[in-house]
C-alpha cells in the first residue's frame, strides 16, 4: 500500500487591516499627539516668562505652594493666564469648526457671524456710556453684546422661505458685524479715554486674564462646548446638503439655531476675556481636517485640543520674542496666521467643511 504523501503546509497570508480600522488608528494618533502638544504648551506657559523657571520648580510649585516667589509667580500669574489660554483657545477652535460646518464655507471664522463685533460693542458701551472700567463688567457686557449679535443674525437669516440657510447666515453676519463695528468705532472716537483703554484689549492678549475672569467665562465655555459636541451627527448629515440631511432625519432649523447659540457663547466668552484673537478659529479647523478628515466627530474634538495648544505657544513666543518687553498673543497669531490664510486661499484643494 503506497505511503500517503502530505502536501507541504502553505504559509498563512495575513490580510491587511481594513481601511476603516487604519483610518481610526490614524485619527486616534492625531488626537493623542494634539493632547501631548497641549501638555507641552501648558508646561512652557507655566515655565517661561520675564522670569523663566525650571520645569522641576514649576512642578514643585504646583504640588505644594510654599509661599516662595516662584510659587507666587506660578499660582498668581501664570496659572490663570494658562487656564485662560486653554479656555479661550478651545472656545475659538471649536467655534471656528462649527461656523465652517454651519455655513459650509471653509474660509469662515468666528468673526463671520458678527459675534466678535457684538462683544466688542458691548465692551465699548460699558466704558463710554456707563463708565464701567472693571474687567468683570467688561466680560458681562461683552457676553451680552455677543448674544444680541447672534440673535440678530439668526433673526435676519431665518426670515423668508427656507429659513436660516448657510448663505443667509453668512450675509446676516456680515451685515451685523458691519453695523456693530461702526457703532463701536464711533463711540471710541468720541471718547479718547475709552479709546486708550480699548486699544490694548482689541489686539488680543492673555496678559490681563485673572482668576475672576476665568470663573466668569468658564460656565459659558462649558455650555457652548457641550452644545457644539452634541451637534456632530446632524452636522455630518448637513454636509451632504439640506435635502440629504432631511432624509437622514436631521432637524436643520434646530441644528442651526443651537449651532449659532454655541458659537455665540464660545466666541462671546473668549472675546470678552482675551480680546478678538484672529486666525485661531480659521486655521485650526483646517489643520484638524487635514489630520482626521471632515468627520465632525473627530474634527471638533481635535480642534478643541489643537487651538489652545497653538494659542499658548503663540503667547509663549510673544513673551520671549522682544525681551524684556512682550508681544501680545493677538499680534503673534496675526503674524503667523496671515501666511496660513494666504496659503489656504491659494491652495487648489481646500478641504471642504
Q: How far apart are CA 49 and CA 44, in angstroms?
A: 9
Domain segments of the chain: what residues? 83-346
Lowest mean pLDDT among 21-35, 107-121, 143-157: 107-121
Write the burial class of residue 239 (CB in 10 Å: 0-12 exposed, 13-18 middle, 19+ buried): middle
pLDDT band at 350 (very low <50, low <70, confident <90, very high): very low
Lowest mean pLDDT among 1-5, 16-20, 192-196, 213-217: 1-5
Checking 35-44 for CB contacts under 8 A at 24+ apart, the result is 35/305, 37/305, 37/306, 37/309, 38/86, 38/305, 38/306, 38/308, 38/309, 38/312, 40/309, 41/308, 41/309, 41/310, 41/312, 41/313, 41/316, 42/82, 42/86, 42/312, 44/312, 44/313, 44/316
Region 43-48 average pLDDT: 93
CATH code for the part of the protein at 83-346: 1.10.3470.10
pLDDT at 91 over 50: yes
Lowest mean pLDDT among 76-80, 139-143, 160-164: 160-164
pLDDT for the residue numbered 346: 66
Q: Which residues of 72-101 are buried (b: 16+ CB within 10 A; e: fewer)?
A: ebbeebbbbbbbbbbbbbbbbbbbbbbbbb
Amino acid at each position: 500500500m503506497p505511503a500517503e504523501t502530505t502536501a507541504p503546509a502553505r504559509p498563512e497570508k495575513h490580510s491587511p487591516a481594513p481601511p476603516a480600522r487604519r483610518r481610526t488608528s490614524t485619527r486616534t494618533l492625531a488626537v493623542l499627539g494634539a493632547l501631548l502638544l497641549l501638555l507641552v504648551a501648558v508646561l512652557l506657559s507655566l515655565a517661561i516668562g520675564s522670569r523663566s523657571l525650571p520645569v522641576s520648580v514649576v512642578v514643585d510649585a504646583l504640588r505644594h505652594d510654599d509661599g516662595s516667589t516662584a510659587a507666587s509667580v506660578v499660582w498668581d500669574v501664570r496659572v490663570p493666564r494658562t487656564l485662560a489660554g486653554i479656555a479661550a483657545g478651545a472656545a475659538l477652535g471649536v467655534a471656528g469648526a462649527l461656523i465652517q460646518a454651519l455655513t459650509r464655507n471653509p474660509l469662515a471664522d468666528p468673526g463671520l457671524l458678527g459675534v466678535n463685533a457684538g462683544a466688542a460693542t458691548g465692551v465699548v458701551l460699558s466704558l463710554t456710556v456707563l463708565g464701567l472700567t472693571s474687567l468683570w463688567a467688561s466680560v458681562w457686557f461683552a457676553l451680552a453684546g455677543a448674544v444680541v449679535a447672534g440673535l440678530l443674525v439668526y433673526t435676519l437669516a431665518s426670515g423668508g422661505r427656507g429659513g436660516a440657510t448657510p448663505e443667509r447666515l453668512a450675509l446676516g453676519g456680515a451685515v451685523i458685524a458691519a453695523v456693530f463695528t461702526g457703532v463701536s468705532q464711533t463711540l471710541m472716537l468720541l471718547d479718547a479715554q475709552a479709546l486708550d483703554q480699548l486699544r490694548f484689549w482689541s489686539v488680543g492678549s492673555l496678559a490681563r486674564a485673572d482668576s475672576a475672569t476665568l470663573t466668569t467665562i468658564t460656565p459659558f465655555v462649558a455650555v457652548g462646548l457641550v452644545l457644539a459636541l452634541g451637534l456632530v451627527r446632524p452636522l455630518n448629515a448637513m454636509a451632504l446638503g439640506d435635502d440629504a440631511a432631511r432624509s437622514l432625519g436631521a432637524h436643520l432649523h434646530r441644528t442651526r439655531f443651537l449651532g449659532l447659540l454655541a458659537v455665540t457663547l464660545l466666541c462671546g466668552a473668549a472675546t470678552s476675556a482675551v480680546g478678538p484673537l484672529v486666525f485661531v478659529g480659521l486655521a485650526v479647523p483646517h489643520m484638524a481636517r487635514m489630520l482626521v478628515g471632515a468627520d465632525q466627530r473627530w474634527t471638533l474634538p481635535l480642534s478643541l485640543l489643537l487651538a489652545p495648544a497653538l494659542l499658548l505657544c503663540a503667547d509663549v513666543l510673544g513673551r520671549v520674542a522682544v525681551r524684556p518687553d512682550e508681544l501680545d498673543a493677538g499680534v503673534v497669531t496675526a503674524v503667523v496666521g496671515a501666511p496660513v490664510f494666504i496659503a489656504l486661499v491659494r491652495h487648489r484643494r481646500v478641504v471642504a467643511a
